[in-house]
Amino acid sequence: GEDVEQSLFLSVREGDSSVINCTYTDSSSTYLYWYKQEPGAGLQLLTYIFSNMDMKQDQRLTVLLNKKDKHLSLRIADTQTGDSAIYFCAESMDNQGGKLIFGQGTELSVKP
Amino acid sequence: GAGVSQSPSNKVTEKGKDVELRCDPISGHTALYWYRQSLGQGLEFLIYFQGNSAPDKSGLPSDRFSAERTGGSVSTLTIQRTQQEDSAVYLCASSFTGSGYGYTFGSGTRLTVV
């Protein structure tokens, strides 16, 4: 079935790199996404990767995709306290109208 | 409009009452999605609209939940005879093509059933 798994918590020190991991199940997904949710706010699209790519870099964010293992990761370089939030990975079910299947979210805590 | 608008932003209701949650998508977005986020949970897909029709209602938890969309625009999610387990944040998103790319989420409606 459809399932996206993430670890629930990650704690890092300010200035360190953060790596958030995700596994997904649908090998036919065209896009895979990372969303950020700050306390009391809606979901903000952080970045995405097309399924035929292995890596995508966008400023402090690096997305790595291992299609063989169905593993997606988000690396945040030089993590700041403002990066504290919940991060969701999601796969798009393009043959089902584009609905997104989300992981449970990883709560990132950045300590000064 | 400029973004996806949801109303009300907060709703407290008594167990057993019916509630209606509204979503105004971005103008021109043909696809509209409802999700539910319960405390400590990820986002659970509820229903998807393409235009006014709903090809995928597979996520609706029970027959107390229904949704409609009119004029290819506004959507209403109705929960009848609310239960405490319905307490959650209900999020709406819209996109141009229904491809999963280019979603825009609203800020959600926080529903509390007491």
Blockwise average pLDDT, block size 10, chain A, 112 residues: 85 97 84 90 88 92 94 97 95 77 94 92
Q: Which has the closest alpha carbon to A84: A63, A56, A59, A106?
A: A106
**Strand partners of residue B37:** B43, B89
- Res B101 pLDDT > 70: no
**pLDDT, tens digit, for every residue of A66-87?**
999 999 999 999 999 999 999 9
Structure tokens at B47: 């229903």
Please answer whether residues B42 and A105 qualify as being in contact, where contact means their C-beta atoms are separated by less than 8 angstroms.
yes
Interface of A with B in 2-21 (CB under 8 A): 4
Decide if A63 touches B, using CB distance below 8 A. no
Question: Whole-angstrom Cα distance, residue B100 to residue B12?
Answer: 32
- Res B88 pLDDT > 90: yes
- Res B59 pLDDT > 70: yes
Contacts of B55 in chain A (CB under 8 A): 97
Contact B48 A97 (CB under 8 A): yes
Residue linked to tokens 């009391």: A40
